[in-house]
Structure 1
């Protein structure tokens, strides 16, 4: 069975949007607003500053990797950024997927690999909420190699290109998140998985979503008292154990519905409900619409 991190990344269905190589010189500032899609960046040479809206600037140097699962607004600038009064820099395309920013008369001060992708899962926001807002890893040799492979594959038109890119992105995301587990900061799945006891319970939820889990059962799996488990899980993951169970059940249910190969009764059984009506009630309460309407909208979206 898939581990929790792999299963969430797989259900997110990452798809390559675009990637590019950026060379920069002098003072420069690139601003992105309201993208809403995953963004990742590797610094091959030089340095720069990265600022996610609402956070303090991060100094990135050679070998650094940054991933933002849902990048609504961020700024990338030279280490000595231009004044606030100066206009943002417009990247100039110099070759296929290669851009220059800054001042042409100055020496290069940054060589970046930048990529954007999309999560095709319609419930991606729910799954992304379990992940950290920002992943910053230093000396990210393995991740740099993966980003290079993504860019190389995106520039080709070889058979199987889309499938290869999707798998590469899955590996890239899993590698980034599991590396981040060594230094978790805010509540979420990674913090839960970093806790040895909680990780056992989380894996059980993902390995057998058909099980009618209770807090008592999960606490027993984690070898903790009910109250200790409940408090520890809620603090680490950012939601109660049963909220997590239902979130995961509904994510799996949506995936099964989109496949259109299972009856409602089979899906209900697979995600831990004793009848199709009980599943329909839970699905409607959680998503705001019955399974039949979700399936209809999914069909219309796929035919557009």
Structure 2
């Protein structure tokens, strides 16, 4: 599994929130639902996005035009509006509860039919939003690599997937939720693949294209149970240990063994929720010699024991 695939293993849509929104100016929505990942596509009209990264540097407003897609990395808040100067009129809280600034619930007042809300069905601006409300441990490393907002311009991805999602969002047929989940996944895959291929994507992603480092990354990800060392990886890719360590750290941003540790523990975290396998069995599958060794590393990395992690409900199925 490559880095992008592992990102999508986490936020795989399960009863995802999909909604078509229609607004005439002036309009402004302040989104603070704290979802880990949200995709917004502009079907008609346009607007601006104003990210509000927590503890980070201020981010300049970004313009969105018809056909553009924005990917928002949670749990940061952000505002979408017809103009950066328009004051927020609507708040979107966790659980997609929509209220006025005074707390009045607007879900029914602005309803325009199945998965459709706003001020007018034929409004100047139409948005389609798909929200992934949960994430898995294996995706956190990659979600951290995303900026507060990534914008894809019209033409950077195949618009046919978006057209299908827009069309299906208005339907209410059997298994409609499953259909929307899969279409949202496809649109997200297309958008992220396009963004990660650009020059402003993280340096480590481009490392997969390096003949040496890319091979080392795939060896570790495809076979985490193997007792990898820098020396054994170097032998597999055909360079010296020092040369691999230097180039890997330069391109990925951390040493090979640090990357491997994070990868193994993320996989273990998922297996604890996804299976009834014993801790000893999981330890062997992800490259630890014993349950004790895995438990020690897991608690140091995540701040809680594997047992406590397993006892916590899997947020992805909430």
Quickly name the TM-score band, shorter chain normalised: 0.7 to 0.9
**Conserved 8 A contact 1:34-1:73:** yes
Matched positions, count: 295
**Structure 1 CA distance, aligned partners of 2:263 and 2:11?**
12
- Distance change >3 Å, CA 242–CA 156, structure 1 → 2: farther
Partner SS for 1:56: coil
Partner of 1:263: 278
Partner SS for 2:26: coil
Residue 46 of structure 2 is aligned to residue 47 of structure 1: yes
| Larger CA deviation: 123-132 vs 23-32 | 123-132
Partner of 2:268: 253
Residue 118 of structure 2 is aligned to residue 100 of structure 1: yes
**Aligned-residue CA RMSD (Å):** 3.3
Partner of 2:312: 297
Residue 104 of structure 2 is aligned to residue 111 of structure 1: no
Unaligned residue ranges in structure 2 (runs of 5+):
53-57, 91-99, 101-105
What is the TM-score with the length of structure 2 in the denominator? 0.77
Partner of 2:93: none
- Distance change >3 Å, CA 297–CA 56, structure 1 → 2: same
- Equivalent of residue 80 in structure 2, options 70, 76, 82: 76
Any idea what the Cα deviations from partners look like across 1:20-48, whole Å, max 9, x if unmatched?
Answer: 22223233222112523311111122221
**Conserved 8 A contact 1:42-1:144:** no
Partner SS for 1:293: helix
Partner of 1:190: 205
| Larger CA deviation: 10-19 vs 219-228 | 219-228
**Structure 1 CA distance, aligned partners of 2:273 and 2:125?**
43
| Larger CA deviation: 37-46 vs 122-131 | 122-131
**Structure 1 CA distance, aligned partners of 2:150 and 2:88?**
28
Partner of 2:20: 21
- Distance change >3 Å, CA 236–CA 109, structure 1 → 2: farther
**Conserved 8 A contact 1:4-1:203:** no
- Distance change >3 Å, CA 160–CA 21, structure 1 → 2: closer
Q: How does 1:86-165 map to 2 (within 5 A)?
A: 86-88=87-89, 92-101=110-119, 108-121=123-136, 124-140=139-155, 142=157, 144-150=159-165, 153=168, 158-165=173-180
Partner of 2:68: 64
Any idea what the Cα deviations from partners look like across 1:112-161, whole Å, max 9, x if unmatched?
Answer: 21221223425654442244443221124756443444455566565545
- Distance change >3 Å, CA 81–CA 282, structure 1 → 2: closer
- Distance change >3 Å, CA 55–CA 68, structure 1 → 2: same
- Distance change >3 Å, CA 180–CA 229, structure 1 → 2: farther
What is the TM-score with the length of structure 1 in the denominator? 0.80
**Conserved 8 A contact 1:233-1:241:** yes
